[in-house]
A and B are shown apart, each in its own frame.
Chain A
Amino acid sequence: MNKTDSAGRLFAGLSDVREEYLNELDDMAPKRHSRRLPLLLAAVLLLTLLCGTVAAAVRGEGITEFFGEAWLRLTGEAMGAAQEALIRGLSQEIGRSRTVDGVTVTVDSAAVGDDSFQILLRVTGVLPRARADYRFDGFSCWPAESAASMSACGCSFQGGDGAGALLFLVRYTSVAARFTPEGDPVPVELTLRDLTRRGPFGDREKVEAAGEWSFRFDLDLREAFQILSLGDVEAEWETFPERQPFRFTARDVTVTSTGIRFCHDSSRELPDPDQFVAILSDGAEIPCDENLGNPDGEDFLCTAHFRIPVNLNDLAALRIGNTEVRIP
């Protein structure tokens, strides 16, 4: 295939891209003039300053407040009292810090589900750069006792806290429940090595702080939470980018505050995590952002984890692909 011809098709294909993108190019959008503009700008500036203050204050606190801010961004509404109580019930303070060459990593707090946990990390001692992306070059976070089931862990940069610290969220997920309210606390080992920074356009990665930060702490599920059983669910979703309908059966579907578990045919492809969405009674939607599958004989045990834990008393429906299942 001639690459120049392909580039020509690409150039022609760009012609009809969405108008909203082209309107972002200054002189293609119709210009609107308003004498109220200075007033509006002043109002926006004031709002921005107020929000900035609130955001800084909120992000400066623990994982409950971190989820509260994420909830506001996702749904446009503040978390309700019952929702906040659920997250507080799942949360626990950890408060362990290690300093290496002036850079301090603090394991702030965690939210624990029966098959997963999320931990908020705070890093101080580096100068946060706007729009830069940070990561730890080496990372591991596992429950100390070896898990028989499939599990995964990740650490993602969440931006600054507005007070000079970098925030990271560690997420551990597995396909089988291992935290129980009656069980002993589970020791967790977390190791981070070499904090690196990359510019907004994928510039060469630079080591911001070399060193290793290691922690060992206990996590437990302090309060029992609801588990809903939905039986088998026939679902359909569209493959991307082919947009072909794809049908599959999720068997023995159970829903908890932190996500969904089910079995399906191991020969079938697992839908992307954002194909699983919790729909709340007020219409807010909380998608999953992580899923995992583990072959078990002829079955494929799967989990998908909500971006933010949800109060099942507010759960009106579950959407898997294009299929919506009402919660009885």
Chain B
Amino acid sequence: MEDAEILDLYFRREQAAVGETAKKYGPLCRRVAVNILGSEPDAEECVNDTYLRAWNAIPPDRPDRLGLWLARVTRNLAFDRWKRDRRQRRGGAELLLEELTDCIPDPCDPERELEGRELTEFLDLWLGSLKPEDRRLFLRRYWRGESVRDIAKSAGGTPNSVTKRLTRLRAHLRDALEKEGLTV
């Protein structure tokens, strides 16, 4: 079913909207949630929360890109849940955050600390400076939380080569922050 038809179901308040959403975008949302939470049962709950969030938000919202909108909601819900439960278990986002610490400049008197919208604007600029294949690689790992092995498998490389590329991209982001005297 086309996105516009699914959205029309939401706007008519027909419960079939949720079923069609699950059929079309359930696998994507589940993958994002599992990657961050590292647990199938937790991910399932998170995806159900996403459907509930969609039911409550549409209408009045009418997302231009339904798949992206759902994936973003799932990612945010999963990360919130992971932060809440982090003391109890490791997995999923723990590893992603450990890797992302490479991007954080050492605390040697940065001129400014970025947060919120400013941080996203900086990330937009930095991502825009990358070659599209590098940008996809970075976002597959740190936006969707895909495993290095899965990325390597679908991109036709080896896990080792993907790891090396990611390491360089993280160093590149840290350099970009340091060059502007910024930190996060």
**Residues of A with Cβ closer than 8 Å to B?**
1, 3-4, 6-19, 21-25, 27-30, 200-202, 240-242
Contact = CB atoms under 8 A, between A and B. Distances in A.
Contacts of B79: 11-12, 15
B39 interface: no
B147 to A, nearest CB: 15
Given A9-B184, A24-B136, A29-B65, A14 B172 contact: no
A21 B183 contact: no
A147 B172 CA distance: 37
Given A15-B76, A24-B132, 12 more contacts: A1-B183, A6-B104, A11-B96, A11-B100, A12-B76, A15-B120, A19-B65, A21-B128, A22-B68, A28-B67, A201-B134, A241-B182
Interface in B15-33: 28
B167 to A, nearest CB: 9
B139 A21 contact: yes
A21 B180 CA distance: 23
Contact of A8 (B64, B75, B97, B172): B97
A14 B103 CA distance: 13
B125 A25 contact: no
Nearest to A16: B120
Interface residues of B, number: 55
Q: Which 3 A-B pairs have the closest CB atoms?
A: A13-B119, A7-B100, A7-B97
B85 to A, nearest CB: 14
Contacts, number: 120
B178 to A, nearest CB: 13
Contact of B104 (A10, A21, A30, A241): A10
A30 B142 contact: no
B47 to A, nearest CB: 15
A191 B67 CA distance: 55
B139 A22 contact: yes
A22 B104 contact: no
Interface string B59-96: 00000111110011001100100010000000001001
A3 to B, nearest CB: 4
Contacts of B101: 3-4, 6-7
Contact of B68 (A6, A7, A12, A23): A23
B12 interface: no
B72 to A, nearest CB: 6
Contacts of B149: none
B131 A11 contact: no
Contacts of B104: 3, 6-7, 10
Contacts of A30: 3, 65-67
B52 interface: no
B127 interface: yes
A27 B164 contact: no
Contact of A17 (B65, B114, B127): B127
14 contacts: A4-B97, A7-B100, A9-B115, A11-B97, A14-B143, A15-B75, A21-B135, A23-B68, A25-B143, A27-B28, A29-B68, A201-B164, A241-B118, A242-B112
Contacts of A22: 68, 71-72, 139, 143
Contacts of A240: 180
Nearest to A24: B136
Contacts of B122: 241
B88 to A, nearest CB: 16
Contacts of A21: 124, 127-128, 135, 139
Contacts of B136: 24-25
B168 interface: yes
B21 to A, nearest CB: 14
- Centre residue among A17, A30, A202 by max chain B CB count within 10 A: A17
Given A3-B104, A9-B184, A13-B119, A27 B67 contact: yes
Given A7-B104, A27-B67, A14 B112 contact: no
Contacts of A201: 134, 164-165, 168-169
A113 B167 CA distance: 43
B59 to A, nearest CB: 20
